Structure 1
Amino acid sequence: MKKSLWTLLAVGWMAASSATPPAHLVDSLKSACQSEPDARKRVDILLNLKDLNDSSEDELYYSRKLFDEAAAVGDGFAVGASLGSLASYYISSPGAGDSLARILAQAEPLMRGSGMEGLGAYYRMVELARRIQVAGAEESARLCREYIDSVRTLPPGDVYEEASRLFLKGIAAFRLVSAEGNLQMERGLPFWNDELALLGRMRPTARRNFHANLITCLIAAYSSLEDQSGLVHAADGYLAMLDEYYRDPEIVRRRPYISKEMSYLVCYYSMCTSPLLDERNLQAYYERYRRFADSAAADAGNLLTNRQGFYTISAEYYNRRGDYPRALAYLDSLTVQLRPGGVTSQLVAISANKAKILERMGRYKEACGVYNEVVGLRDSLSSHRYAEKVGELEVQYGLDKAERDKALLLAQKRQNSLYFALTILLLAVIAVVYLWRNLLRIKHLQHNLSVESQRAQESERLKRDFMGSMSHEIRTPLNAISGFAELIAGEDLTEEERREFAQIIRDNTQLFTSLINDMLEVSQLDNTSAEMPRKLLDISKIIRAEMEHLPVKEGVEYRLELAAPEIVFPLHRSYVSLLVRELLKNAVKFTEQGSVTVECGLTGPDTLTLSVTDTGCGVEPGLAEKIFDRFYKGDPFAQGLGLGLSLCRLIVEKLGGTIALDTSYTGGARFVVTLRDA
């Protein structure tokens, strides 16, 4: 029974992998999708592209795109149509359970009330069932017991939740017995029959999906019980449900390219090859399948058009009936279909099946030849097993010993060739890895050299800028001091002129001192890696003290807006004073009319925000970061070294905060400082 279930899966894989959409139709729809401005019409086109690309390498891409665009416009039907591929990917990907939960949480509200309602419960059921199936015996039993315990106290759910619980209870019932060494699918039958009774209350797509999962279990259970009538009743009910589903007006209208064949194929394969059915029922199901294969349900370019599914089922059917010539004919047709795709495990399996049929027919020499072909196809992976089979046939039926030795020698030769090829491949991989590592190392060194070169160039530029600024900015106050000192020594000056010249000397001395202090502060901060010591201070007092020293400027108003009379925060007094002083000095310098406003307050339990806003000339948004560069001056003729804002950023970073230009403010310039309590 377990073997038959795996056979069903193999047929499904073969059929799905052979489906290829018509290229001209896909290209036409892709072009229409790119040019369609209407979002809802684009969703309809993506739905068709998704259906046409089922089981192709583009399936997941179109499913993701369909989900995103359908969710954006609230199309629950299209969201549900995209879930099959996405859920399969997340379920089969280790550690992606959270991704499945997130996508279902997003999809379920959109699908509620649509023809796709209930798919969330279905995919959660499938995810748990898969974990139970692939786990080892002990882990599987633990998961089953945990699930049964978890649902005992749950209140009744909707029809989809109840169906999920019944299906999983059936899985748990037979898996717990299987853990003891007995595969008894029939133990789940009472739960699955109760689930079957609920399907009529479901929305169309959920009913089809729940029923498709259920039919494989029902077929296995009734086959285990050898209950032919139960098996026939279950299969007929499933096929009737599919006919009704694919006639549903919404499915016909919105999914004209939906792949129908796989839904039917799994059931027909089981029924056409079942050892339980009598001759009359077996023939009846095969005839039904032949009619289905020749009907309009076989879409152009899809599964049944290339006939692989039909050839597979027909070969198994006639093999089951003992009509070996017809079985061989269908296997030959299947081989012709598959051979252009190169050697595959499926092609090897077909050849092995053909050899067994020839052996049953007594055509031993031909069987030996086919086994030799299988040896060639599978190379060393199966060469010993098939070579031994060739030897047994030749000894048993008196074939020539030379031919047997030739077959064994060929198998050994191919095995040696494979070993040689693998050795060469391994050496090539090692060489490629070695060269690649060297290339990466060289690229890394080149990158480091480039970075160092850029740093050196930047350092040279900064040095030139610094020397240029220094030669101008320091010479200016020194010239003023020297010149006015000579003038003040003259005897023909009035007292008022002496006072004016003395003030000019004091101002230039202060300017000179300020320039030197800025350079010293920048140098000290650059060479300090330790964090600044901080203690609780009232920053409002620091701000008031700095604003009291601002020069009176005609037409400019100074404003202070505090969130509270006292704003206590861990700070470094001297550096915060310097920060406020530099920001105010910068604002006053560029404001000719209007105001300079300082705002400060706690914006959180551990966050302090300080802003200085002016109504001056402002800063272009593109220079929002450039102005913090050392020695940068927006106006090269403006007074100063261009260290003020650079010094502000150094202080803020040492305090563990940030400073930025508020580019949304267009009435001048606003600098915002954010400090956090470390």
Structure 2
Amino acid sequence: MRQMLLKALASGLIMSLFPFAAISAPAGPSHADSLLRLLSKTHDAVGRERIYVQLADLSGDSLELAAPYWDAALAEARKSGDLYGCKDALDFLVRKFAGRDSQRAEKYIALADSILPGPRHALFRSSLYAYYIWKLMNDNNAVETVKHELDRLKTKIHNELSPEERIEWEFLTGLSLDFSSLATEAYDNIGKAIPYVEQALKKLEAYPLEERLHMERICRDELSELYMLSKDKRAEKQIQQCIDLHRAWLAMDDRFERPYRDTTGYTMRAYSKMLYLRELISKEKATQYYGKCMELARARGDLAEIYSTSARYYQYMEEYERAVAYIDSAVTVYKRNGTKADFASIYAVQSWLYEHLGDYKNALEALRESNTIRHNDRVEEAQNSLAEMQTLFEVGQLELEKSRLANRMKFIALLAGGVLLLLLVGWSVYQYVMVRRLKQIRRQLTDANQEITRQSRRATESEKMKTAFINSMCHEIRTPLNAINGFSELLLEGNHDAEARREFREQIWSNTTALTTLLENMLELSSLVSSEAPLPQTDTDIGLLCAERLEYQKRQSNNPQVEYIFKGGGRFLHHSDQRLLHDPRDRQPAAERRQIHRRRLRHALLQEG
């Protein structure tokens, strides 16, 4: 039972940790309407910020109403350079959204980094993040949240953590030990978290109050919880210091009047927290703190706080009947307002009170109710865990299918890439072969064109040579024919003497022989040109051949006026010499000898094979 009461006590402490400010009494709608009308006429940032802040104060703890006004107030404070206004708005927004919309809370934390940069505001930014981590851990009952953040900070130790990060690391370490001890019901280990939080507070003393206030209040709130659970009398002092820090923060706001701002919510909960100290304070002090709490609660009209605090107070004062009655009233208010509370622990405490009153029947009913709630909570938790695991399983299956599909797509992409690569290689080889073939064809065409050009040039030259040859042959043939015709006519006239007629016959015979030789040479040359058989090759004395041809030509010409001279050293072909020497010039007078002497004949021997 003692452990159950301790757990209930811890649960109540967690609910009171980091309280939020609330308005003492909701103002009428006329105030909001007048402020909205005034807002439309106000154009300066300072004036608009004041109106937005007052509208937010009128909205109280209603996040739906207050959040838009605090957003607008933050924007105006940023324009006017109001650091207090920026911190006040960010503090409210992060605390409210930390347990409801983590994404928006993270957005405001990131916004704080941009609005309030530099080491001067580093502790304030750390306080926002520390509260956000605490809220996530408290709502989700997950110590891993803090451990993950600690691991992140540990990785930076080697890179020299900043002083503010070291303070944050000390606080989160203590917070992790605290919640892990409560989660595992290892209450004796709670005291191990105290040195870390104390070390964080010691390091905070080096900073001005304005810079350290928010972080110090969070640290002292946590340290008071640790002292309380460890039965350390220093808890009372820590709670009082938290109240002083809250009042100091309110006193720093000297910008404008805030008639609708509630300044009692935090103080009321702090006095209510004092009643958890029980034997750590005297009954006189407990009565004193209870009176202060009730005064503030009644002024606020907070029935839940009145009933819950009264139940704790009368339990401590051992007036169990009144304590039981206040517990019933508190449960009724909680259920009516839809307030989230640990009803299992509350009924367990009520059962314990009935047991001390000797009302075992009601004690049993309260205990059964507590066990039923715990059982339902565990069943609901198990169902949630099962649903979560089912969701994770389905997500895992989807991830597996996604992974398989991704692998399949990768395989298809790889296969397609391989096929494409093969096609590309094949296309490259084909292009290479085609390029080589085209180059070869182009080379062949070029060679063919060159050959055609050469053949065309040869044909042209051959045609020219043919024409020249025909002209020459016509001349060569016509000359002896004319001579034969002429001498034949003279011979037929019959009026010449015998000597002349004999000479005419000799000339006719000589020209006939020359014409016959010319025709034979033409036939032989034509036969050589048209024949594809290789020419017979034998050893020949070119000099003797030339001498013989000269002698033969001398006999054939029968012209004593033409002198034939042969000098060795030249190499003449048989037909070339014959063609050269058989020339009409042999019938020319001696005066033309110099021209014949000056002509030079060049022979080129082309040997094939």
Please report the TM-score for the alignment, with normalisation by the length of structure 1. 0.45
Comparing both structures, which one devotes a greater share of its residues to helix? Answer: 2
Q: Which has the larger radius of gyration?
A: 2
Comparing both structures, which one devotes a greater share of its residues to strand? Answer: 1
RCO higher in 1 or 2 (8 Å CA, sep ≥ 6)? 2
